[in-house]
A = this chain, B = another copy of it.
Amino acid sequence: MSGSKCARLSGQLVRQVLDSVDCVLFDCDGVIWRGDKAIPGAPQVVKLLKQHGKRVFFVTNNSTKTRKMYADKMSTLGFDVTEDEVFGTAYCSAVYLQTVCKLQGKVYLVGSDAMKQELEAVGIQQTGLGPDHISGKQTDWARVALDPEVKAVLVGFDEHFSYMKLNRALQYITRSECLFVGTNRDSRLPLEGGTAVPGTGCLLQAVETAAQRQAATVGKPNRFMFDCVASKFGVDPGRCLMVGDRLDTDIMLGSNCGLKTLLTLTGVSTVAEAEAIQKSGCAERQGMVPDYYVESIADLLPALQG
């Protein structure tokens, strides 16, 4: 294979790359599906990779689903996937708090019911789920009732995010020895038809601005999500391919962990963006330049069927 990056993956090169890996990691949204529709050919790609003896995993920054909810959605869309092949930030954040932080105490959760479920599955109790509307006068807000057992604030996607939740997070974080963790920094959640809604990164920025402190983040490009996969399944980074639609999260994760990287153009980032970063020469950003790109992961099909 040539040493140049950002090469179009086609023809003979597809089989060469696939032969060089034992394991393929896929991002989900914009890669294997968009919204509620599978990318055409994607279920077949996953099926054939497995038939060729590859291990396949799914690594998503989205914190709104448990592993089980992902496996169910994938099944509905025609993918043959088991729960333990899926790594979302709801699950990985719970693992992070348990294994890395060794949290002894409760979590103040700005997040989803899925996050609550994944926390409870590893034995961590939470408080904070659901609506929390403003009440009382401003002078009361700093004296809002807090749970003395809370030792960490975890911020993920929360459709009930509110000023009072922001305030409660601030009051917890300014107590002594409170951990501060975010699921991910994605600024927008892309939906079908080119629309988007605010992502977890917005909520995390709000809490960080109040706290005057940076959260540790679990999601891509932080290598923790790959470490979750590697420690559970013993995969060799040098024989893994990371497939994603975002340069700043998916491709950067792959580079951070020494994986081969493949950008697919069915989502957020473009080849022009990757080439611009490559030409900029900016050392810190070179990890965002993928080894290869495809129009869609369906471009892998001929090599897998041949």
Seen from chain A, the residues whose Cβ lies within 8 Å of a Cβ on chain B are 35-36, 131, 133-134, 138-139, 141-143, 158-163, 166-167, 170, 174, 187-189, 191-192, 195-199, 201-203, 205-210, 212
Contacts and interface: CB of A to CB of B under 8 A. Distances in A.
Q: How many copies does the complex hold?
A: 2
A35 B139 contact: yes
B138 A189 contact: yes
A197 B212 CA distance: 12
A158 B206 CA distance: 13
A41 B131 CA distance: 44
Instruction: Classify the secondary structure of A's interface with B.
Output: mixed
A138 B197 contact: yes
A163 B141 CA distance: 19
A195 to B, nearest CB: 4
Given A170-B196, A202-B205, 4 more contacts: A134-B159, A142-B191, A161-B166, A202-B207
A189 to B, nearest CB: 7
The 6 lowest CB-CB distance pairs between A and B, nearest first, are: A142-B195, A198-B210, A206-B206, A161-B163, A202-B209, A202-B206
A198 B139 contact: no
Contacts of A166: 161, 198, 202
B210 A206 contact: no
A202 B198 contact: no
Contacts of A197: 138, 141-142, 167, 170
22 contacts: A35-B139, A36-B139, A133-B133, A133-B160, A134-B160, A138-B159, A138-B191, A141-B197, A142-B191, A142-B195, A158-B163, A160-B162, A160-B163, A166-B202, A198-B206, A201-B209, A202-B205, A202-B207, A205-B206, A205-B208, A205-B209, A206-B206
